């Protein structure tokens, strides 16, 4: 639903700053302004420039940069179709001689890379960023892979989803409004804790 997709977008791209990290997010009621999301919480020390190379080596650098939050078996990755296919077709997991019977050349998926699981496919991870990992409207052919400690966030729900509708007799339409009261907040101090990592500068065309 649109409600669920809005929550997903805010968790990934949320930024409550007066000037959003992405220059095309300007409306005060944009869902990407309701709370700070994973991209916003990634500290500079946990952002790794891929230089257009997605490999075990670059993903290891991202895990290592996260310190204690990059321990094997404690992280998940979020990316779009570009990042997903680049991750699972890298040489270290592609073939049977490297990854065994679950090689991505056979299965079309990867159980784990360096203990990262799951790898979540989301079209809310932008494919139109610049080489620094933000949208500027000039360079729009880069994307990223976001890594998060699995227990990094808490979701609070004050009121569940409510659906109301009414008929507009002038247009013969049914107007539906979906609302809810919730919040998503980090469980750790995001000014010092590297619970989110970002592998940015991944070209979408190669």
The secondary structure of 84-130 as a DSSP string is: HHHHHTSHHHHSHHHHGGG-HHHHSS-S-BTTB--EEE-TTS-S-B-
Q: What does the pLDDT read at residue 14?
A: 98
pTM of the entire structure?
0.86
Structure tokens at 86: 């680049």
Residue 154 contacts by C-beta under 8 Å, 6 or more apart in sequence? 184, 185, 186, 187
Q: Which among 82, 85, 81, 71 is positioned nearest to 150, based on CA atoms?
A: 71
Largest interatomic CA distance in the chain: 66
Residue 145: its H or E element: strand 142-149
Rounded to 5 degrees, what are φ and ψ at 142?
A: -125, 155
Contacts of 58 (CB under 8 A, 6+ apart): 48, 50, 199
Averages of pLDDT over each 10 residues, the chain, 206 residues: 92 97 97 97 97 91 96 94 86 48 50 78 97 97 97 94 93 92 96 97 91
CA 39 to each of CA 125, 186, 192: distance values in angstroms, whole numbers, following the listed order: 10, 12, 15
Helices (H) and strands (E) in the chain, counts: 7, 7
């Amino acid at each position: 639903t649109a409600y669920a997709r809005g929550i997903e977008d805010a968790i990934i791209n949320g930024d409550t700053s007066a000037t959003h990290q992405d220059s095309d997010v300007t409306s005060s009621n944009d869902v990407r302004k309701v709370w700070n999301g994973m991209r916003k919480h990634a500290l500079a020390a946990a952002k790794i420039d891929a230089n257009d190379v997605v490999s075990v080596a670059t993903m290891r650098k991202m895990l290592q940069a996260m310190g204690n939050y990059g321990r094997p078996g404690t992280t998940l990755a979020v990316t779009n179709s570009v990042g997903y296919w680049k991750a699972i077709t890298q040489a270290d997991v592609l073939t049977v001689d490297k990854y065994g019977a679950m090689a991505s050349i056979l299965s079309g998926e990867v159980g784990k890379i360096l203990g990262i699981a799951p790898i979540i496919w989301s079209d809310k991870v932008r494919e139109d960023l610049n080489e620094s990992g933000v949208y500027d409207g000039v360079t729009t052919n880069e994307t990223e892979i976001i890594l998060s400690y699995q227990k990094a966030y808490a979701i609070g729900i004050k009121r569940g989803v409510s659906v109301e509708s009414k008929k507009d007799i002038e247009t013969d339409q049914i107007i539906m409004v979906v609302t809810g009261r919730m919040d998503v907040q980090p469980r750790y101090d995001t000014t010092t804790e590297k619970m989110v990592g970002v592998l940015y500068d991944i070209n979408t065309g190669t």
